Structure 1
Amino acid sequence: MSAEDGEELPTASPEPSDRVSDPSDAFQALGNEIRMGILETMLEFGDGNDTDSTEATPSTPTFSALFDASEVDTTAGFAYHLDELVGPYLRKVEAGDEAWNGETESEGYELTYAGERIARAIATGTYTQRVDHPPTELDDDCPFCGRAALTAQATDNRVTVSCGHCDRRLLRLGFPPAGLDSHGAAFPAAFDRHHRHRLSLMRDGVCPDCSGAVDARLATLSSSTEDLLPAEHTDHVQAEFSCSRCGMTLRAPVALSLLSHPAVVSFYDDHDRDVRDRPIWNVGHEWAEAVLSEDPLAVRVVVELDDSVLALYVDEQVAVVDTQRASSETAPSSDGTETAETAESAKEAETAK
């Protein structure tokens, strides 16, 4: 029965998670060059990347296929290392009638989810490469001083965007080494897209690192952030997203957390613009924020394009409780002095939760 038929679909309760090994045992199994090589080979088989061979590549390689792809001298030694990976990183499956070098074996191997994650982390250099990149000039002006003096620099797989004129650091976020390597001097654009996607996921309640549940709230500025901002910005608040499972936490301006909201996307589209054209380190002077209430926290974010204004009213859980469009002549000011009615509705929405 489908949901369109007007009947409620049954809900299935998740089964308890199965802990296949202790973390110390799982990581100990990786502490060998041969085993790491097996995982890399398994990924090549699964992706069909065995370009050096004219043989058909099985999707579930057998023992013989894996052994032939290795540099191990004896099958006994190879079998020991292969068995150490079975459980947390590999599982045995039926290989059917797949042949390898004229031999047919009934058992093959597949990567588990953990095995695939580790294998891809090895391939992308997440745990093994440290990439530095010299300062790259950015086309955008500094949002604080307005000078064209922004640069992006990578140090130990972390990218810092800063202004050479006012000496302010706009942001500092990690970026996988594969991204820095493969995009070269164009890495700032890829970095921007990468973190837009991560922020959008967190706003949707999903951790981009572990897929755990994310809690969102408005938070006052930390002392370290206040020190980086001009005096006129220190009364702002930030959107804070925290994963309840892995603890990953991200803070960002409230406006930045709304870039993928449907009302914002459609507003830009109606003005023949793409909200993605402006990078996260300077989304444009058309954005403004104002605190409407401090208990509970409520914020209005305003974006102005041409002669139109979009206002988004955000409650303490960073949920948009109301949106309004108006001409620039009739739009509310950005200082929050004439929004008592909307501020009250934001409070009521927060209390109703």
Structure 2
Amino acid sequence: MSRVDSLQECEDCVPPADAFSVVADETRLAILEALWQLETPARFTDVHDEVGLRDSAQFNYHLGKLTGQFVRKREDGYELRTAGERVVQAILAGSFTEHPRREFELDDPCTECGEPLAAEYEDETLAISCPACGHGHGEYPFPPGGFHERSDAEVLEAFDQRVRHLHCLAKDGVCPECNGRMETTIAREGDCCLGARVRAEHVCRQCHHELCSAVGLALLDQSDVVAFCDEQGIALSETPYWRFEWCVDDDPVTVESEDPWRLTVDVTAGDERLRVTVDGDLSVVDTERA
């Protein structure tokens, strides 16, 4: 079955082409944004006044086209359905209207050579790498709306938190894009943004969204790792992931077996080391202080 066929298999669903045609109108988008701004359920007159369309008949026509799929009508007014919320969120994120390009320097050193890192943003993806040696430190999706009213430092902080969130969901089997089932595999061949020989790859069975990362990135919220770093005076949740070699490289990773998968990740802090063993799903099976 093709990807297009799978989108059409729901008998009660509106065909995708029809659904997108419904919101391909300036007035209807204005209605969705008005319901996003107003306290809902909102009365017909309140939504009409917020949109500012003089012709009530035209407004009623467009609201009627949205009702059912994107807007829910209740006894006390109107409110957005999940599909309507997603349309507004995509607009606010800038995914439909903004295509910025941006470059900026970081104060953090490369984990490979120690030279300053740099970040580059293009095609809704933010990539961190070392200009001196070319070592990658992650390349992940970041909507354009994330730049609004943020300094460079604030953008990087937001990006760090987003990467943590994306991979936390992915390793737990939930697609961060569509909430479908995410499958994790360990890869040892092919190219990736990190240039890693051993990495984790997450692919959604439903929307085919993909993420790849160093194996250690999955440990940022692991309780034993957090406690270990706290003991060494490192606030793991407040330190950008790209400062840790075990989050951006495969040098700290040792493949103990492939059937079943067993990998050890050396989490280092100063002169201390925590050796973490994970399986093919990145679930922790053992920890050992060294």
Q: Give the alignment's TM-score, normalised by structure 2.
A: 0.87
Match of 2:81 in 1: 112
**Match of residue 126, structure 1, among 90, 95, 100:** 95
Match of 2:285 in 1: 321
Which stretch of the first structure deviates more once superposed, 285-294 or 189-198?
A: 285-294
Deviation per residue, 1:144-202 (Å, 9 max, x gap): 22222x11121232212121212344332221111122323221121111111111111
Match of 1:173 in 2: 140
Q: What SS is found at the alignment partner of 1:260?
A: coil
Q: What SS is found at the alignment partner of 1:313?
A: strand
Q: What SS is found at the alignment partner of 1:182?
A: coil
Change in Cα spacing, 1:169 to 1:324, as seen in structure 2 (3 Å) is: closer
Deviation per residue, 1:115-139 (Å, 9 max, x gap): 1121222233222222222x21111
Contact 1:131 1:180 in 2 (8 A): no
Deviation per residue, 1:269-288 (Å, 9 max, x gap): 22232123442333147981
Match of 1:27 in 2: 20
Q: What SS is found at the alignment partner of 1:188?
A: helix
Q: Distance in 2 between matches of 1:301 and 1:124?
A: 35
Q: Distance in 2 between matches of 1:301 and 1:167?
A: 23
Q: What SS is found at the alignment partner of 2:192?
A: helix
Deviation per residue, 1:15-73 (Å, 9 max, x gap): xx884412111111001100000001010103xxxxxxxxxxxx322222222222323
Match of 2:157 in 1: 189
* 1:24 counterpart letter in structure 2: A
Alignment of 1:1-353 (within 5 A): 19-46=12-39, 59-95=40-76, 108-133=77-102, 135-148=103-116, 150-186=117-153, 187-222=155-190, 224-225=191-192, 229=195, 236-284=197-245, 288-326=252-290
Q: Distance in 1 between matches of 2:15 and 2:256?
A: 49
Q: Distance in 2 between matches of 1:18 and 1:43?
A: 29
Query: RMSD in angstroms over aligned alpha carbons?
Result: 2.3
Contact 1:239 1:254 in 2 (8 A): yes
Deviation per residue, 1:79-121 (Å, 9 max, x gap): 11111001110111011xxxxxxxxxxxx21111111121222
Q: Distance in 1 between matches of 2:12 and 2:240?
A: 41
Q: Distance in 2 between matches of 1:140 and 1:277?
A: 14
Q: What SS is found at the alignment partner of 2:164?
A: helix
Q: Distance in 1 between matches of 2:38 and 2:246?
A: 50
Count of residues in Structure 1 that have an aligned counterpart in Structure 2: 277
Q: Distance in 1 between matches of 2:246 and 2:209?
A: 30
Q: Which has the higher contact order (CA 8 A, sep 6+)?
A: 2
Match of 2:3 in 1: none
* 2:132 counterpart letter in structure 1: H
Q: Distance in 2 between matches of 1:295 and 1:152?
A: 38
Q: Distance in 2 between matches of 1:126 and 1:179?
A: 11
Deviation per residue, 1:234-276 (Å, 9 max, x gap): 6x41112222222111111111121111111111122232123
Q: What SS is found at the alignment partner of 1:183?
A: coil
Q: Distance in 1 between matches of 2:275 and 2:80?
A: 49
Change in Cα spacing, 1:124 to 1:306, as seen in structure 2 (3 Å) is: closer
Contact 2:214 2:246 in 1 (8 A): no
Change in Cα spacing, 1:265 to 1:169, as seen in structure 2 (3 Å) is: closer
Q: Distance in 2 between matches of 1:183 and 1:195?
A: 17
Q: Which runs of 5+ in 1 are unaligned?
A: 1-16, 47-58, 96-107, 327-353
Q: Give the alignment's TM-score, normalised by structure 1.
A: 0.72
Q: Which runs of 5+ in 2 are unaligned?
A: 1-9
Change in Cα spacing, 1:309 to 1:185, as seen in structure 2 (3 Å) is: closer
Instruction: Quote the sequence identity (%).
Output: 36
Q: Tell me how far 1:307 sits from its aligned partner.
A: 4.5
Deviation per residue, 1:208-250 (Å, 9 max, x gap): 111222212211131x239x64xxxx6x411122222221111
